[in-house]
Amino acid sequence: MTAERAGAPGPDGTVTAEERAVGTGTANPGGAPAAAERTAGPPADAASASLLQVADLSVRIAGLHILQGVSFDVASSGVTVLLGRNGVGKSTTLRAILGLTPRNGTATGSVRLGGEEILGRPTHALVKAGLGFVPEDRCVFAGLTVAENLRLAERTDAPDYDLVFSLFPELSKRAKQRAGSLSGGQQQMLSLGRVLLNSNRLLLIDEPTKGLAPKVVTEVAEALERAAQAVPVLLVEQNLAVVRRLAGDAVVIAAGQVAWTGPGEQLLADPALTKSLLAVNAAGGH
């Protein structure tokens, strides 16, 4: 587990703060074509109603204005992918939707689920109402067993263990093992399994393949693909192969705002656009 953690891009705070500074510098040249793209194409799918509407979402944490009026819609089926460079505010967006903005921060604007305003409602109530959350870095309870982690997450009288164990057979084999002693990939499966036990209206999933071995990435992507057939997903994902496989719509955040929205295919088909909006590694400049 520690080995895989070490492979991940370091502690968010420092790295992302730097990336953000880099990001604002390059966002303006990249911003022009993005804006053009947005106005040129018609709204992605005006016909099928969206499930979640985020409008003018602003988040300030400890004096930093991290999100500056983010607006996008999440379709009522399939996977909507949220993209952007490291530290641009993708996790902050998911957490704000769920009422998990830290106490030294504020979230303003509007988030509507099925037409109903949910911004500011307590997290536990939102999750009970059907927003399933899989956080960045998994957040399994290390001291609890796999079975206990799953039992804790049960929200219905009829949790769907059949589905979870068919997606991740490993979890049923390791039911009595402490979650802290699982590998990173197994922890990710547990974190997804906790949510998939219940029926949800929308899943919010934050970088489920981060720091995982290629083989495990494929396994997780397959599971996500299957899960997404039954429930809409708002997915934060940096691995473009996974994005290509799953994405319906794509939303790209840059410099605290939405820089591009449209079909995921279209974004990935344009290397120059992808590079200007997402080139996380290229921007590192080693």
Partner 1 sequence: MSTIVLMTVTGLGLAALYFLVASGLSLVFGLADVLNFAHGLFLSVGAYATWWAAGNLPGAGSDGWGFVLAVAFGVLAGTVVAALVELVMIRPLYSRTIEQVLVTVGLSLAGVAALQAGFGADPRPFPRPSWTQQVVTIAEARVPLDRLLLIVAALVVLGLLLAFLRWTRYGLIIRAGVENREMVTALGIDVRKAFTLVFAIGGAAAALAGALSGVYFGSVSPTSGASLLIFAFIVVVIGGMGSVSGSAIAAVAVGLLQQFVNYYGTSGAGDICVVALLAVVLLWRPAGLAGKAATA
Ligand X SMILES: Nc1ncnc2c1ncn2[C@@H]1O[C@H](COP(=O)(O)OP(=O)(O)O)[C@@H](O)[C@H]1O
Question: What is the C-alpha separation between 90 and 70, in angstroms, rounded?
Answer: 11
Tokens of 146: 């796999």
Residue 122: what are its φ and ψ, rounded to 5°? -65, 145
Binding-site ranges for partner 1 (CB under 8 A): 98, 100, 103, 122-125, 127-128, 133, 135, 139, 141-144, 148, 151-153, 155, 180, 194, 198
CA 232 to chain centre: 12
| Count of residues touching Mg ion (by CB under 5 A) | 2
From Mg ion, partner 1, ligand X, none, interface partner of 16 (C-beta below 5 to 8 A by class): ligand X
Give the whole-angstrom CA distance, residue 16 versus residue 249.
25
Should residue 6 be labelled a site residue for ligand X when binding is judged by CB under 6 A?
no
Residue 187's Cα: distance from chain center in Å?
17
66 contacts ligand X (rule: CB under 6 A):
yes
Cα angle 51, 91, 130; round to 5: 35
CB of 97 to Mg ion, least distance (A): 14
- Read off the tokens for 261: 């929205």
Give the Cα separation of 140 and 163 in Å (integer): 19
Query: Among candidates 203, 259, 256, which has minimal Cα distance to 52?
Result: 203
Q: Is 90 in the site for ligand X (CB under 6 A)?
A: yes
Compute the least distance from the CB of residue 109 to ligand X, in Å: 16
Residue from 5, 7, 17, 180 binding ligand X (CB under 6 A): 17
Contact between 91 and Mg ion per CB under 5 A: yes
Partner interacting with residue 227 (select from ligand X, Mg ion, partner 1, none; CB below 5-8 Å by kind): none
Q: Which CB sits closer to partner 1, 36 or 139?
A: 139
- SS3 per-residue string spanning 62-94: CCEEEEEEEEEEEECCCEEEEECCCCCCHHHHH
Note whether 84 binds ligand X by CB under 6 A: yes
Helix axes 214-230, 184-196, angle to 10 degrees: 10
Minimum Å distance from CB 94 to ligand X? 8
Instruction: Choose, by CB under 6 A, the member of 20, 138, 174, 210 that binds ligand X.
Output: 20
Q: Does 257 bind ligand X (CB under 6 A)?
A: no
C-alpha–C-alpha distance, residues 285 and 83, integer Å: 21
Per-residue mark of binding to Mg ion, 133-172 (x: CB under 5 A): ---x------------------------------------
State the nearest-atom distance from the C-beta of 200 to partner 1, in Å.
Answer: 10
Neighbour count for residue 254 (Cβ, 10 Å): 24
Query: Where does this chain bind ligand X (CB under 6 A)?
Result: 12-13, 16-17, 20, 61-62, 64, 66, 84, 86-92, 102
Q: Would you tell me which residues interact with Mg ion (CB under 5 A)?
A: 91, 136
